[in-house]
Amino acid sequence: SGGFAVEMSIETGNNYECQGQASDYFAVWKNQAQTAYTVRNYNFNQCTGTSWSSPCVMCSPNAGNRGGYYYCVYGRQYVRHKGDRWLDTSDSRPGGPP
């Protein structure tokens, strides 16, 4: 830091804070709420008739992040690059196949 205060931020219109000490690695993470649903493609062929594709799970973000939240993570392994994203595809998502 060269003796200067170092700050990095992303503006969201909201204020979220994590407590830390000098030289700590920490970040505010956002859990983007989503709804999962199972779909299948419907195909119709005049010669062979109707067929269905295998089920596919699709996920869509909830409007206004309803059901989502922000939380603090600590440790260099969790603080990589500003703006990093990933999709939580754990089995806990509703709407997936049984």
Which pLDDT belongs to residue 81? 78
Q: Measure Cα distances from 28 to 44, 62, 63, 69 in Å.
A: 48, 20, 21, 10
Which pLDDT belongs to residue 93? 53
Going residue by residue through the chain, which has 98 residues, state the pLDDT in tens, using 9 for 90 and above. Answer: 344 455 555 556 778 888 988 888 888 888 878 888 888 888 888 888 888 888 888 878 888 788 888 889 899 888 877 777 766 666 665 554 44
Which pLDDT belongs to residue 91? 63
- As a whole number of angstroms, the distance between CA 82 and CA 77 comes to 13
- Per the listing, tokens 């956002």 go with 30
